[in-house]
A and B are shown apart, each in its own frame.
Chain A
Amino acid sequence: MGATLFDKIWCRHEVTDLGDGFSLLFVDRHLVNDMAGRGFLTLNKRELPLRNPELTFATADHTVSTLWSAGPDRSATGNPYAANLRGNAAKHGFRLFDTDDPNFGIIHVIAAEQGLALPGTTIACGDSHTCTLGAVGAIAWGLGQSDLVHILATQTSAQRKPETMRITIDGSLPETVTPKDLILFLVARLGVAGATGYAVEFAGSVIRGLSMEGRFTVCNMAVELGARFGLIAPDEITFEYLKGLPYAPSGDLWEAAVADWRGLESDEDARFDSELTIDASEVEPQISWGTNPAQTIGVGGVVPGPDDLDSESAEATYRAAIEYSGLQAGAAIAGTPIDMVFIGSCTNARLSDLRAAASVIRGHTVAAGVTAWVAPGSERVRRAAEAEGLDHIFKAAGFGWGHSGCSMCAGAGDEMREVGQPGQRIVSTTNRNFVGRQGPRTRTHLASPPMAAAAAIKGAITDVRTLEPIDG
């Protein structure tokens, strides 16, 4: 019987079989962010050396401010997290993409841009959205501080081998429906625990037709299905994307690598523990209504009522969500007034995302009373967007244009105090709409960049397909 893409990569990286379904895996690339302070504290207290500084790459994406007023250190008030990471980079000798580095950005965005994420690799990071990088055909997963210290000290991680699930997406995405709508649709369909315990391979003609940037968006939200791993078989689109990137192999090694990578895809007779096929042509632009990403509907739909709740806890969960949302069950979601729009995050802040939003915004202005903020995924993305004038389109419409960083997704920088306000209703291109995620009492509606742009223009949740573009 054949092997799946996931199995092939897993087997290659098994250092020791620990029994009971667990393996000690070698970690090819350890990505570190500014939330790793306690991990380094433990490492240093135990006087353990960093085993492989040359396989460790870091950036302070979570706590930096994306406001221009924040200055070169990206902090108006001093940033102990970034300073701590800087201190540990100096002590242990790993590569830090510092706040003033031209390649600074959100770790999952820059790991792709730099060619750190390569097919067939294992990539770990203390952030649950590390699954983003599985889009190149890698095993990429998020973990907590204890696992992180283990990797710092040993370059390995003890992991349970998950079951495998293949989600095949056939048909074709309707025009104006984006990869973000597709993954939100899947999360709504399967639920936030729909793939818990699985590594999910996304396959099918729709996935094959996506750019690498679109594939990153899809894999980014695998964790919102409960899966630690989301991945896509590498193909010509992957190779073309990677060729020439700073940390990608070159010359003879490139040829050898590509030859190897061509053999990674799941064998035709590979068996998955679970299989699912979706027809993409039924997907419409999506918008979340509640307090988890599965509480999402098509923009033409109505806020769901308390139907089909099968347990006491499901009922309590629904009641809390609908109450927090401030919405009425049965009401159309389109037309709901909003206070703010955020375009950014590891889900949707790459160049193609900014282009898609800008093409909707061009010639329009942000509705009165709405604040709107763009934080590019990286400094490279920001410069590329500025080179084609996207920043002018956003600024002319009344959007704020920021530096790169996690910004208002995690709500840890200065943006919520300076740009947003507690209790606001936000249409956001991020991945999580949890209670208080974007600041105290904020209500988050997850959407694609074009949908976020449409909401900014109308001052309300709006079906982007109903907006007339203005040329010029």
Chain B
Amino acid sequence: MAEPFTVLRGGAIPLLRNNIDTDTLSPGSPPPRKGGGSGFGERGSTTLADDLFANWRYDTEGEARPDFVFNQTRFQGARILISGSNFGCGSSRESAVWMLAAWGIRCVIAPSFAEIFSGNCFANGLLPMTLDNEAVESLADEADQKGAAGEFIVDLERCELTAPSGRVRPFAISAFRRRGLLAGLDEISLTLEGAEAIDRFVAKARMATPWLYPEAA
């Protein structure tokens, strides 16, 4: 169950790389830092937010790399990440989304997303917004100029993104996903309310494919 997503206002952080994988977002073996965890979202005294992009954020001694955007003062407090195509590819680890959320990111804008990552975003109330390459590059430029102080407005009710420049761009999202985000729906409760449909399905399937149900043998 996630917080409803209606209108998000906040700064954006640009990171134009394609194919950012979830190992990169949530490293299985993050660089050692004082109090660091063992990877896969397991914590020492570091927080989930500390491990986001850990292999890009910290050098092998555990010192922050000043040239990486997530370490730069001017992007602290950003709520939106702007990135390249096929964002979130690779492993299904949902910790990639938890870490983004823990850092403060509620919306990722990219030309395309990997599917498992995208599903994990929706399950946690994050919006993966797909825009064309040109729009993404232009938005990234704006974010780079303004830092986190430049306000972007993501309006999910109107399906519109307003950049700090004032330019408004419509964005597309499936009606099913939009409904879920707007309401912060608890999908498990919804499905369990319709549990009779599952029981009916199983009764039919037991007749049609009895070999799938060992005890029916």
Contacts and interface: CB of A to CB of B under 8 A. Distances in A.
Interface of A: 12, 15-16, 18-22, 24, 26, 28, 35, 38, 46, 48, 54, 62-63, 118, 120-121, 126-128, 142-147, 149-150, 153-156, 158, 160, 162, 192-193, 196-197, 223, 226, 228, 247, 249, 253-254, 256-257, 260, 292, 311-314, 316-317, 320, 410-412, 416, 422, 432, 434-437, 439-441
Contacts of B51: none
B128 interface: no
Given A24-B191, A193-B86, A437 B115 contact: no
Nearest to A142: B92
A434 B31 contact: no
A150 B187 contact: yes
Interface string B34-65: 00000111000000000000011000100000
A118 B211 contact: yes
13 contacts: A24-B197, A26-B201, A54-B215, A62-B40, A149-B188, A156-B198, A223-B90, A247-B214, A292-B21, A411-B39, A432-B91, A435-B24, A439-B29
Contacts of A226: 86, 89, 114-115
A432 B90 contact: yes
Interface of B: 16-19, 21, 23-24, 27-29, 31, 39-41, 55-56, 60, 83-86, 89-94, 97, 112, 114-116, 119-120, 123-124, 133, 136-137, 174-176, 187-188, 191-192, 194-195, 197-198, 201-202, 205, 208-215, 217
B194 A153 contact: no
B137 A311 contact: yes
Given A158-B187, A228-B115, A422-B60, 4 more contacts: A54-B213, A154-B195, A412-B40, A434-B90
A460 to B, nearest CB: 25
Nearest to B20: A317
Nearest to A417: B29
Contact of A154 (B21, B23, B192, B213): B192
Given A19-B176, A20-B174, A54-B215, A147 B123 contact: yes
The 6 closest A-B CB pairs, nearest first, are: A313-B84, A146-B123, A144-B94, A249-B211, A144-B120, A193-B86
B51 to A, nearest CB: 12
A156 B120 contact: no
Nearest to B83: A313
B93 A144 contact: yes
Nearest to A18: B176
A411 B23 CA distance: 11
Contacts of B213: 54
Contacts of A63: 40
Given A145-B94, A228-B116, A313-B18, A21 B217 contact: no
Nearest to A441: B60
Given A144-B94, A158-B187, A435 B23 contact: yes
B175 to A, nearest CB: 5
Contacts of A154: 188, 191-192, 195, 198
A434 B119 contact: no
Nearest to B27: A436
B29 A416 contact: yes
A327 to B, nearest CB: 18
Given A20-B176, A320-B17, A432-B90, A147 B119 contact: yes
B210 A256 contact: yes
A379 B28 CA distance: 25
Given A193-B89, A247-B214, A416-B29, A15 B197 contact: yes
Q: Which among B40, B97, B124, B188 has the greatest number of chain A C-beta atoms within 10 A? A: B188
Contacts of A147: 119-120, 123
A430 to B, nearest CB: 12
B18 A16 contact: no
A176 B194 CA distance: 53
Given A312-B137, A440-B60, A128 B116 contact: yes
Given A22-B176, A320-B17, A435-B23, A440 B55 contact: yes
